[in-house]
Amino acid sequence: MNINGKKIGAVILAAGKGTRLGCTDCPKVMMEIGGRPIVSYAVDTLLEMGFSANDIVLVVGYEKEKVEKYFGDKVTYAYQAEQNGTAHATSVGMKALPLDIEYALVMGGDDSAFYTSKTLLNFINKHIESDNVLSLLTAELENVQTLGRVVRHEDGRIEVIEKEYLTDEQKNIKEISTGTFCFDRAWFEEIFKSMPKLRKLGEYGLPTAVAMARDNHLPHQFVKMNNPNEWFGVNTPEELEEANNRKFQPKADQPMVGNNQSI
């Protein structure tokens, strides 16, 4: 897809099994809300925005045949043989994008069903205009117990801290990472070669990319959503039920306001 003269592709992480959700015979992202697979909403939104099948890569793993059968040639596929973290899945997905793609929008297949095309387009434009190596979409939520947090320090530093590493004080923070990124593709592919694994999880996580950009004094930004209801992670049967209830509620597109603040 071409936006403001720049070529951008999309990587959707869809390889997870969904153990907590009780998935036994299909991938997590193929569980249904509104009578359709969770991930189908994100795919349709991207297609409506003008992304082509070559521009959209679904990173598949567990029961990948069911994803491929459902979407057919509407998207491109990349196979993550071993689930080794979100950054590893992103690397696998980027390799399947056309070589001339300069930027990559990366999102989870299990938490992006409610995104509007306007929000995603504003986020992409914000990234391209700022010429950052990465941009991260954040949201301020009430129920954040099982999520990592965005920590904004008094000296201006901003970091993403996984829930396993949170201090008691940081657990009171309401702002979270949605896990939706825009990356300078060449930069991400280069830094992934030397990316360390998350110490407690033993896998490659996308929050590490934020730390690597910060530690190398490279431009990056955190963009907060005005409408946090556009992000909703589905990890448990209760969340799946809530997603079904939410899917048929009106979604308000939110304009972008401010630099490095919100969309």
Query: Model confidence at 55, in pLDDT bands (50, 70, 90)?
Result: very high
Domain ranges of the chain: 2-135+178-221+231-246
User: pTM to 2 decimals?
Assistant: 0.90
In this structure, of 124-128, 195-199, 258-262, the range with the lowest mean pLDDT score is 258-262
Question: Rounded distance, CA 121 to CA 104, Å?
Answer: 13
For a pLDDT cut of 70, what percent of the chain falls above it? 91
Average the pLDDT over 97-106 and give the result: 97
Residue pLDDT, tens place only, 160-192: 888 888 899 999 999 999 999 999 999 999 999
Residue with the larger pLDDT of the pair 72 and 154:
72
Q: Could you tell me which CATH number the domain at 2-135+178-221+231-246 has?
A: 3.90.550.10
The answer to whether 113 and 243 are in contact (CB under 8 A) is: yes
Average pLDDT over the chain reads 89
pLDDT digits (tens, 9 = 90+) for 245-262: 886 554 444 333 333 455
Q: Minimum mean pLDDT among 17-21, 41-45, 50-54, 84-88: which range?
A: 17-21
Residue 53 has pLDDT above 90, yes or no: yes
Residue 223 or residue 18, greater confidence: 223
Whether the predicted pLDDT of 98 surpasses 50: yes
Higher pLDDT, 123 or 5: 123
SS3 string of the chain? Answer: CEECCEEEEEEEEECCCCCCCCCCCCCHHHCEECCEEHHHHHHHHHHHHCCCHHHEEEEECCCHHHHHHHHHHHCEEEECCCCCCHHHHHHHHHHCCCCCCCEEEEEECCCCCCCCHHHHHHHHHHHHHHCCCEEEEEEECCCCCCCCEEEECCCCCEEEECHHHCCCCHHHCCEEEEEEEEEEHHHHHHHHCCCCCCCCCCCCCCHHHHHHHHHCCCCEEEEECCCHHHCCCCCCHHHHHHHHHHCCCCCCCCCCECCCCEC
What's the confidence (pLDDT) of residue 255? 35
Non-local CB neighbours of 167 within 8 Å, separated by 6+ positions: none
